[in-house]
A and B are shown apart, each in its own frame.
Chain A
């Protein structure tokens, strides 16, 4: 039977079906339905006013970015691998570095030291992921880069084709400048070619990387020593700008008796010759003096040529500056380590080296480097057999070789962070300027100098160079190219620490280590020790990345918001926003966000208030 009209009027039914403009308290009994049937949703309820604090999506900085001397968007390319888009990952990587396959092999990966995952179960294998990307066909040609600017007509000369020179040349090319490199050696690459053994960085890999830079139009003139053939001051007259990146190529003298023997080499010399295919004769017993990377590189190279190798170091293994894994691998390959010993003299019989007399040391108080200093123990001398000795005490910078002009020498000694000198147009970078002598730092320095040169040449730029510094660390070329429009360059961006994350979402996952084939037999083989990730391994390792501080659209805030207030800005957008009129400020989104991509702010803070909008 139908309901009596006086009990359920047409108007009341219309209210139930279509809503009422007037609140129920202003309707007559005839205008309301007999039963309490709702006719509106709750969207206009003013619950947003309950809150004292409001959440806001705010990008934080992954520490790996700040820790990368190159300025790579580490989190960016790693997480893009995780998402399965390796091409985009490769492009992200290419945006900040010209040498990914190289760094992916030889970088000492400070990004991994900075990685927050260290505090859970070991850092993400960032270097190996970079290597994986750098080896992909996307990097087969210079097409990975597109010219950022039309040609400027400016010419720049670069002294040295090591990582600093190459990086600078690449960055300047992207910026539209014409670059010419002068390299002393017969082949380009500098330290990468002559200082790093091929078992760590195969020649074909390096030549592919350099080839790509050449393809961008960079001319590399080999066999031209800037100091001798082209005086630096003259060079500056012919070019709009000059960048010096000739490295630290002079060996520190050892100054002991017998050091003039023909079986005594410097590590630079030895590695350089070995790279050229003429492995110097070492005899059966080869002694290496020093504890740095070149000592270990020389030791492992000599081992490969068949010698019994002993590294003599004045402190203990713990104080050795060489990379931990390199030392490990060297010891696994059968290299001896003579700790706490300093060389006294080389014993030469009939012109041939037969041994080295050493003195034992003990460790005393820490010195300026923070390491405990070795104190010789009187009367503790002993002899170890030696048929050759390689001096790996370190390398020094030789400015005199580069220029005889004292003004220039002084200028090159007083460089700012961007490699600018007080001589107009003269810049320098890489190992040449001191500081941390690593491939990554050299690349970073080259990029910085390129940006500084660009500003010098073009004269105008809206932002100070400092605004392109990521998290107090490296400079971002991609950010520079976009005039700073990069969220990692946001003012006051906070570097995310482990305590900021929500570890509940990150169960322990073992790190994927790269497979290694260590050389056990002396066959002069310099084949590569490490093999790279398979795509599956790369993805699995990338999956370990927390993506600290960056919203990955994981969806937890949307799932967990009791109010449904965490929504995308629009259906096409990946960007989330908080619908302020419904957010009650409980803070679950902030608390639960695995990666600290939101912050909580007092309501009275006027910044970025999302005004009431209609959903």
Chain B
């Protein structure tokens, strides 16, 4: 046990593994896929070395990994898995099940583009494809945030009975080493007490879970998921506060950058935000009132915070690293729908950085300029850095 805070150099994947260890996880079930593998390798190593008192199960598929996690979670245990891309897609059926069964499973999701054709590099098409499942999603931009988000995810998930994905970009975070501060175990224990499950799989109080439900109550059941998402928004804020009190580090649903007087704003999720900041700085030097927002909390969608942050009348460009083919980028259309009722902003959807293509500061700058020049399509998809 680590009793004192210390700072170590670890990859994003290792940061997840350490957080899972410190969460006193009961069951980890996973199946290897690049670039997720080192998460489970690290956990298997911790278990083998006796640094974790958990059961590590290597399954034969991600579908089974998620099934095992749901099963474990139904007994009141804390359960975790990690995956990427195809693996997440294969889990899809069980992602829905985890939500419907109200099992607060935590999933380390290393963003990787979906085949075909094969690629192992990053984009957000895998996790965005699961945005309607009812999972909470937190997109990280550095390894410390990965660590902190994972512990927070457990704590929020267990209160609102919804599973959560901690999302990080393939290689950029997963395999890049950064300094990460690990708090003492007793701090984590205090922050994240054992899970309380009044109703679970228990021979002393037998219930059937997930049996057939007729229309007279199915919709109320679905309404309760949405209600829980709403409540999660508040719980996340209070847990951010708790975590800040304990560690001095603050997570934010939305990370603004030079936004206060911005007339043109670019939004994105994940590590590409570095390029956004660079481009903002460059345009500011030119006298253009540019700003940026990084979205950490994607589900539940931080509607209130977004409305508060976006300056009135500014143009907003949303860079998606995923496409909902035939219409737009997913985040872009959601931001549009959030801001449109008051019609105070023009929102444009941009697609960039698919399949590991770098989103360079110049890419972001072109996004700003398209809005400033009025050349951006306000309805359709605006492709960035694509040879048409």
Residue B325 at the chain A interface, CB threshold 8 Å: no
Q: How far is the CB of A201 from chain B (nearest CB, A)?
A: 66
The yes or no answer to A351 lying at the interface (CB within 8 A) is no
Partner of B220, one of A2, A16, A32: A32
Give the number of chain B interface residues (Cβ < 8 Å): 36
From 169 to 227 in chain B, residues with beta carbon under 8 angstroms from any chain A beta carbon are 192-199, 205, 207-211, 213-214, 216-217, 220-221, 223-225, 227
Q: Are A6 and B192 in contact, CB atoms less than 8 angstroms apart?
A: no
A4 touches B159 (CB 8 A): yes
Give A36 Cβ to nearest chain B Cβ, in Å.
Answer: 5
User: Shortest beta-carbon distance, A440 to chain B, in Å?
Assistant: 61
Size range of the interface on A? 20 to 34
Asked if residues A16 and B196 are in contact (CB atoms below 8 Å), the reply is: no
Docked Cα-Cα span, A13 to B161, in Å, equals 14
Residue of A nearest to B216 (CB): A25
Q: Does A254 contact B (CB under 8 A)?
A: no
Q: Chain B's nearest CB lies how many Å from the CB of A24?
A: 4
Residues of A within 8 A of B195 (CB): 1
Residues of chain A lying within 8 A (CB to CB) of residue B207: 16, 37-39
Given A2-B196, A7-B227, A29-B227, is A35 in contact with B159 using a C-beta cutoff of 8 Å? no
CA distance in complex: A37, B155 (Å): 23
Instruction: Answer yes or no: A239 CB below 8 A from chain B CBs.
Output: no
> Chain B residue with minimal CB distance to A10?
B198
A458 sits at the interface (CB 8 A): no
Residue of A nearest to B232 (CB): A4
B284, chain A: closest CB distance, angstroms: 42
Contact of A7 (CB < 8 Å), options: B199, B211, B224: B224
Min CB–CB distance A83 → chain B (angstroms): 37
A25 and B214 CA atoms in complex are apart in Å by 9
Contact B160 A7 (CB under 8 A): yes
Q: Which residues of A contact B197 (CB under 8 A)?
A: 3
Q: Does B246 contact A (CB under 8 A)?
A: no
Instruction: Please report the C-alpha to C-alpha distance between residue A108 and residue B159 in the assembled complex, in whole angstroms.
Output: 85
Cβ-defined contact, A25 with B217, below 8 A: yes
Known A-B contacts A1-B192, A7-B160; the reply to A36 vs B220 at CB < 8 A is no
Is B231 at the interface (CB under 8 A from chain A)?
yes
Set of chain A residues within 8 Å of B217, measured between Cβ atoms: 24-25, 27, 32
List B contacts of A38 (CB < 8 A): 207-209, 211
Across the interface, which residues of B come within 8 angstroms of A27, CB to CB?
217, 220
Q: Are B159 and A2 in contact (CB under 8 A)?
A: yes
> How far, in whole Å, are A237 and B284 apart by their CA atoms in the complex?
144
B283 at the interface (CB under 8 A from A): no
Nearest CB of B to A213, in Å:
65
Residues of chain A lying within 8 A (CB to CB) of residue B102: 34-35
Q: Which residues on the B side are within 8 Å of A36 (C-beta)? A: 100, 209-211, 213, 221
Tell me the minimal C-beta distance from A242 to chain B in angstroms: 75
Check: A498 CB closer than 8 A to any chain B CB: no
- Cβ-based interface call for B370 (8 A): no
Interface residues of A in 232-266 (CB under 8 A from B): none
A29 to B209 alpha-carbon distance, docked (Å): 17
Residue of A nearest to B155 (CB): A1
Chain B residues within 8 Å of A28, by CB: 220
Which residues from 28 to 48 on chain A have a C-beta closer than 8 Å to any C-beta of chain B? 28-29, 32-39
Q: Does B228 contact A (CB under 8 A)?
A: yes
- The answer to whether A13 touches B199, judged by C-beta atoms less than 8 angstroms apart, is yes
**CB–CB A32/B224 < 8 A:** yes
Q: With A16-B207, A37-B208, A38-B211 known to touch, is A8 a contact of B198 (CB < 8 Å)?
A: yes
The reply to whether A8 and B161 contact each other, CB–CB distance below 8 Å, is: yes
Q: Are B196 and A34 in contact (CB under 8 A)?
A: no
Query: What separation, in Å, do the CA atoms of A32 and B222 have in the docked complex?
Result: 11
Nearest chain A residue, comparing its CB with the CB of B198: A13
Select one of B101, B159, B220 contacting A1, CB under 8 A: B159
A516 at the interface (CB under 8 A from B): no
Contacts of B62 in A (CB 8 A): none
| Cβ–Cβ < 8 Å partners of A39 in chain B | 207
Residues of chain B within 8 A of A569, CB atoms compared: none
B134 CB to nearest chain A CB (Å): 11
B57 at the interface (CB under 8 A from A): no
Residues of A9-67 contacting chain B, CB below 8 A: 13, 16-17, 23-25, 27-29, 32-39
Question: In whole Å, how far is B67's beta carbon from the nearest beta carbon of chain A?
Answer: 16
CA distance A37 to B213 in the complex (A): 10
B235 at the interface (CB under 8 A from A): yes
Q: Jot down 20 A-B pairs with beta carbons below 8 A, ordered by A.
A: A1-B193, A3-B158, A3-B197, A4-B228, A7-B228, A7-B231, A8-B198, A13-B198, A23-B216, A24-B217, A25-B214, A25-B217, A27-B220, A34-B225, A34-B228, A35-B100, A35-B209, A36-B221, A37-B208, A38-B208
Q: Which A positions have Cβ atoms within 8 angstroms of B?
A: 1-4, 6-8, 13, 16-17, 23-25, 27-29, 32-39
Chain B residues with a Cβ under 8 A of chain A: 100-102, 154-155, 158-161, 192-199, 205, 207-211, 213-214, 216-217, 220-221, 223-225, 227-228, 231, 235
Q: Which 3 A-B pairs have the closest CB atoms?
A: A25-B216, A1-B158, A38-B208
Query: Given A3-B159, A17-B199, 13 more contacts at CB 8 Å?
Result: A1-B154, A1-B193, A1-B195, A2-B158, A4-B228, A16-B199, A29-B223, A29-B227, A32-B217, A32-B221, A34-B225, A35-B209, A35-B210
